[in-house]
A and B are shown apart, each in its own frame.
Chain A
Amino acid sequence: MAGLAILCILAVVAIVAPWITPYDPNATDLNTVLLQPGAPGHLLGTDELGRDVASRLLVGGRVSLIAALQGTGIALVIGVPLGLVSGFFGAWVDKVIMFVTDALMSFPALLLAMAIAGILGPNLTNAMTAIGLSTAPRAIRLVRGSVLGIREETYIEAARSIGTPSYQIVFRHILPNVLAPLVVFAAILAGTVMLIEAGLSFIGLGVQPPEASWGAMLGSAFTYISRSPWLAVFPGVCIAISVLALNVLGDGVRDSIGKKVRR
């Protein structure tokens, strides 16, 4: 519940962020450069261009959360159908899909995402597509694993025996039963996606200046780490809290449905 509560707060803040920021998050003011936290009018200080850190954190959170949703969505859109087909039909279809999945899982997700995003060109959409593609194999594996268990249930055999077409069995009987572990997985995957997005934005492959995301804020904070170390603190804390909330939510749902889901 704690994870869900934190996520709800984060989501509400992300939605209303553009209306509650004390300053324009992209407005520069070279008279107030690198102010410390607690400076008059700037609760969390200002960055190297005099932009209000608190305002950028609020708007950056919106970007980071939307990015996590996008990346997870792409991974699920690719992973769920392929996992269903692989698990349900088995035989050579399963072998081919699993082999391709294993091959893609041989690449460290961050590195593959970096390579794809780098080649497609640095922007947030490309970064999220890259992250979605890199993490889709995990979704395929999870769905396939769940389908393999459900496929042997008596009610599936009964549906087959009365001549129910395969697509109806998959959509009516198997998919609803895969949803519970999928929700757990999606929460944990969203956390992973957020961490990868932060890494990509940190090295300049995610959101482009002057837009803010927590990872990109850490990237620019790194340049001024010896002069203004506090700039590196707040975005990192925000990422950690969000990922923690997603993981706790995932663990909580898993415990409540009493099923072990392999990460």
Chain B
Amino acid sequence: MTPTGISVSPALQEPKKLPAPAKRRVPLSGLLRSVGTRILRSLLLFVAVTITVFGLSALIPGDPAVSLAGEGATPEAIAAIRTQLGLGKPWYEQYFSWTNGVLHGDLGTSFFYHTPVSDLVMSRLPVTLSLALFAIIAAVVFGILAGLLSATRRGRLADKITTVISTVGIATPNFWVGMILLILFSLNWHIFPAVGYTPITKNAGSWFMHLVLPAIALAAAAGAELQRQTRSSVSEILSQDYIRTARAQGLTRRKVLWQRALKNGAPPLATVVGFQTAVLLGGSVVVEKVFSLPGVGTLAIDSVTLKDLPILQAVVLLNACFVIIINFATDLIYTVLNPKVRI
């Protein structure tokens, strides 16, 4: 009993000596851990992608060397292909030798052009990258602006018109959009050049003019998808209580839209942009053909026609690597934009 008459448990009278604090490791911040996990995952995906691309050769019907050499090929040509692909060796040896080459920038030698595939791809890459970049920027700018227009004027004429355009845009083959643009703006009105490409280093104006139509054709579906996503996510945010509060506090409509609605709607948009970029890379193959752009896509189509397996493998691998990098970047942007996500 204490002097006050209240009994106190012995545990309270003599507090237990706390054990000395263990040496605590400084925890990695959520963001860093997330980045680490993502990098590891991307590397594993790269390995899986190389296995898939290498495995494409297993789909060749019959003897791959005979099939790839084509009709009327000489025994020497068949033997050369057999040696290059290492067909006599076990599959895992072939795989490791091919992957080792890929990691050192050696993508093999073209059966048709007899030059290193990496040189061929690198010479075509600026065309495809210019086109893809142009198209992504066009899709993001027009898609988001159209989506904001729809979200802020929901149910009104502007919303109806943009929604109809985007619904049609999603359903239309990009190469057909390209053909129609070609007919109207090149063949009929002679505003843009019909075919070909000028490097930006030679003539920036001509480079721009050659890319406008293919980029619009390629961006149409991606822009339409972004319009839909922006419309739905921004409309949802605009109906939230905190937006009403912000408006009641005197924030202008424009500030609410740009600083609150778009900022909070950005994470799902980043995901859509990432996914659409991957779709767009695939679509660029056919669009390049329509506008006779000497890019990687045209090279891929030619390689299919010529049965040039090393080129085909290189182009497919390159595109998959781009998609892995884009997905990694998208996840990262998503994580930065939305701190709740620390996967």
Contact = CB atoms under 8 A, between A and B. Distances in A.
Nearest to B278: A108
Contact of A115 (B56, B172, B183, B290): B56
Interface stretch (B8-16, B239-247, B258-266, B312-320): B312-320
B50 to A, nearest CB: 10
Given A103-B48, A115-B56, A240 B319 contact: no
Interface in B270-291: 278-279, 281-283, 285-286, 289-290
Given A108-B319, A222-B290, A118 B171 contact: no
Contacts of A202: 173, 175, 286, 289
Contacts, number: 139
Q: Give the interface SS of chain A, mostly helix, strand, loop or mixed.
A: helix
Interface centre among B301, B307, B320 (most CB of A within 10 A): B320
Q: Give the interface SS of chain B, mostly helix, strand, loop or mixed.
A: helix
B304 A99 contact: no
B183 A111 contact: no
A230 to B, nearest CB: 9
B59 A107 contact: no
Contact of A114 (B57, B60, B180, B285): B285
A206 B129 CA distance: 27
Nearest to A117: B304
Contacts of B200: none
Interface stretch (A10-18, A50-58, A243-251): A243-251
B301 A203 contact: yes
Contacts of B175: 198-199, 202, 218
Interface residues of A, number: 46
Contact of B173 (A111, A199, A229): A199
B45 to A, nearest CB: 6
A233 B182 CA distance: 12
B222 to A, nearest CB: 12
B313 to A, nearest CB: 8
A100 B48 contact: yes
Contacts of B145: none
Interface in A187-231: 191, 195, 198-199, 202-205, 215, 218, 221-222, 225-226, 229
A155 to B, nearest CB: 30
A99 B48 contact: yes
A244 B286 contact: no
Contacts of A222: 179, 290
B320 to A, nearest CB: 5
B180 A109 contact: no
B320 A107 contact: yes
Contacts of B180: 232-233, 236
Contacts of A195: 173
Contact of B56 (A116, A232, A240): A116
Interface string A104-128: 1111111110111011110000000
Interface residues of B, number: 47
Contacts of A229: 183, 187
Contact of A110 (B167, B285, B315): B285
B324 interface: yes
A116 B172 CA distance: 24
B323 A240 contact: no
B60 A232 contact: no
Interface string B114-149: 000000000000000000000000000000000000
Contact of B289 (A102, A203, A243): A203
Interface in A119-143: 119-121
A211 to B, nearest CB: 19
B56 A199 contact: no
Nearest to A251: B167
Contacts of A233: 180
A218 B61 contact: no
A239 interface: yes
B39 interface: no
Interface string B56-87: 11011100000000000000000000000000
Contacts of A226: 187
8 contacts: A105-B323, A111-B282, A111-B315, A116-B59, A202-B286, A225-B179, A225-B183, A247-B167
Interface of A: 99-100, 102-112, 114-116, 118-121, 191, 195, 198-199, 202-205, 215, 218, 221-222, 225-226, 229, 232-233, 235-236, 239-241, 243-244, 247-248
Interface of B: 44-45, 48-49, 52, 56-57, 59-61, 167-168, 170-173, 175-176, 179-180, 182-183, 187, 278-279, 281-283, 285-286, 289-290, 300-301, 303-305, 307, 309, 312, 315-316, 319-320, 323-324, 327
